[in-house]
Structure 1
């Protein structure tokens, strides 16, 4: 307990700096792949506090890796943070609070624990919202140097997850032949007709999938003026399910619908895969440690795991190493992410308190593992059993 109290004292001593940093990121929102300023601010702070920083890691210009080594050997703690904003909504998902929280947790261990060996690896992971940047980082060798991965995300309650929706994203482009829609429509082949029929196919399939499947689509490009048969039409599609194996079959049926729509309109179709995010693979030993420490710091609104979740590229990291994310309450439980309510609370005392208590929970969890190495053995064994049971190793970053 003494070690944890020292770690908490470090976070308290730096709280004004961490709050200022989170507010600065909030006031300068940058969408995914454009987080240049946030990346610079976070890495500058880490460098000033004794971390060796590499920028542009994992094939991503706004990603980073910051390392602090204490002694020789010991566990390697991965601390992951996001800092991308939403287009037109700013930081309505609370990502501005993640980097300062993770830095606070890392500095707490760095300054409070000098008698045990360990490594701290802070990974800055861009573009969670629009690009699933962690997948690119995995494909370029990141996260191989850590024993566990920890994150913090803001929420309407303090809790951990035991599941998430696996997610496949596509860009679908229909190619047709343009013609004058009034004088010679018979010469045309409407790409827009193909896209619209693909939407109808999705709707007819919707009745014949299991209840947790989610299917979304929108028009990206519908052609031009109404008096021209559209030669090109593009749509954006997303498929989700809690069951990866079932989602593979939905993917097969989706591709057949796209080909069928092209066949009916005598057009051609191009399906671009934009990425696959896995469903979460929980390690309950690690989840329990986080929640034990949430109670220790008197975190607000402690609740059971969510019944409904979205998707995250952190799930792909969870196929590589034991991982967990503590979700910290700062809004009413009825307020969801990507909403005005999330945005309005982004610089409040509740947001700042959630960030700082999140840092303490992560630091306390690392203290537990350092003090009792058997915990790491239990975490690794549960993770290995998960992989044996579900054969998750087939899905390390790719959907094939």
Structure 2
């Protein structure tokens, strides 16, 4: 006579086997789905690259992405959070809600020299894979269109205005010279600086002028000297965007944009005050009036979710990716991002995917050219695949799924 627990044990074993097959089938679906979508995804990356739009002006990029996601069957809402070039595209009705962030703004004068064209294509690629899998895996997947990462802080406004509410995990993959699994971005503040002086003829009436350009000179000398006493975990850099109108006219208005970076928000607050005093010194020395205003809320340091990062590393390596140790090019992972603010509220990952660009690095014209290379096209598919695999793991790993569901944003 069979033991009374035999049927129960058999049922449990069958259920486990069924669940295991479901997970395997979901992972196995990733590569074929991306192979079918390859031309569309590479075409998207190249089209965005050829039509760069600056922060808050990404009208065509947002429209293009919304159209593709709508064609995939996502429920698309443009202009979310009162941001005209932001959007949300959602599929699935499961309890675990994962957000994949798409960036698509370009740099002034440099185009897509940070590879945001690839970020958008990778997000759409992951969305392509996950659309038919979401309900079966107990998922809700949202692609969030996040404008103005290059100094505008789009994700911070989306976070503050509720676009990430109910999200349990957020992710994106960013291009770089080499692969880096665990991002370590600085916190950063973006400052717009103006000096108001008084114009005068530089030869005939120099004593009647107040030289706003000299105020910048004094300030930059002070900042240069300050750097000697700054911690290694800080950076201060900027450009003067307006320095005067004519050599024989004393400049009455000068402007610049400056970034202050630090290991975290607490250190950033201290260092920024010291930098502001350098600009105050320029105003005091010349008699100019100083105006400083933030271009966006401060970007926070990034907090990596160890579970998401571990799964990403594993899948990226299975795709043939390698993570070099100690390579100077890996310093790109110290670049700042508004994804840091998201990571302080929601478990997140922000790995870098290499495009074999060395010696070219981010924010160079040469790097922009590499962002539509064959290596970049391969990275689009690998980044999309790795994210899709991580989402499947988040949905099916009991430990990670339980933890994420307990850490709702």
| TM-score, reference length from structure 2 | 0.87
Structure 1's unaligned 5+ residue stretches are: 385-392, 394-400
* 1:36-82 CA distance string (max 9 Å, x none): 22111111011111111111123321111111123xx4210000011
Q: How does 1:19-58 map to 2 (within 5 A)?
A: 19-58=42-81
- Give, in angstroms, the shift of residue 198 of structure 1: 1.1
The corresponding residue for 1:61 is 84
**CA distance in 1: counterparts of 2:272 and 2:360, whole angstroms:** 32
Q: Secondary structure at the match of 1:87?
A: coil
The corresponding residue for 1:287 is 309
Change in CA separation of 1:303 and 1:333 when aligned onto 2, cut-off 3 Å: farther
- Give, in angstroms, the shift of residue 188 of structure 1: 2.2
Change in CA separation of 1:159 and 1:17 when aligned onto 2, cut-off 3 Å: same
The corresponding residue for 1:273 is 294
Q: How does 1:57-96 map to 2 (within 5 A)?
A: 57-70=80-93, 73-96=94-117
Structure 2's unaligned 5+ residue stretches are: 1-23
The corresponding residue for 1:397 is none
Q: Secondary structure at the match of 2:189?
A: strand
Higher Cα Rg, which structure: 2
The corresponding residue for 2:371 is 346
Q: Secondary structure at the match of 1:53?
A: strand
The corresponding residue for 2:347 is 322
**CA distance in 1: counterparts of 2:158 and 2:133, whole angstroms:** 30
**CA distance in 2: counterparts of 1:114 and 1:139, whole angstroms:** 28
The corresponding residue for 2:25 is 2
Q: Which one of 140, 146, 152 corresponds to residue 119 of structure 1?
A: 140
The corresponding residue for 2:381 is 356
**CA distance in 1: counterparts of 2:381 and 2:165, whole angstroms:** 28
- Give, in angstroms, the shift of residue 379 of structure 1: 5.3
Contact 1:92/1:346 (<8 A) preserved: yes
Q: Which moved more, 1:88-97 or 1:286-295?
A: 88-97
Equivalenced residue count is 381
**CA distance in 2: counterparts of 1:286 and 1:303, whole angstroms:** 19
Contact 2:210/2:287 (<8 A) preserved: yes
Q: Which one of 253, 261, 270 corresponds to residue 249 of structure 1?
A: 270
Change in CA separation of 1:314 and 1:177 when aligned onto 2, cut-off 3 Å: same
- Give, in angstroms, the shift of residue 84 of structure 1: 1.6
Root-mean-square deviation (CA, aligned residues, Å) is: 2.2
**CA distance in 2: counterparts of 1:252 and 1:212, whole angstroms:** 16
Contact 1:299/1:357 (<8 A) preserved: no
**CA distance in 1: counterparts of 2:154 and 2:218, whole angstroms:** 32
**CA distance in 1: counterparts of 2:73 and 2:117, whole angstroms:** 22
| TM-score, reference length from structure 1 | 0.88
Change in CA separation of 1:3 and 1:174 when aligned onto 2, cut-off 3 Å: same
**CA distance in 2: counterparts of 1:134 and 1:318, whole angstroms:** 11
Change in CA separation of 1:149 and 1:219 when aligned onto 2, cut-off 3 Å: same
Change in CA separation of 1:182 and 1:27 when aligned onto 2, cut-off 3 Å: closer
**CA distance in 1: counterparts of 2:357 and 2:198, whole angstroms:** 52
Q: How does 1:1-400 map to 2 (within 5 A)?
A: 1-70=24-93, 73-275=94-296, 276-296=298-318, 298-304=319-325, 306-307=330-331, 309-378=334-403
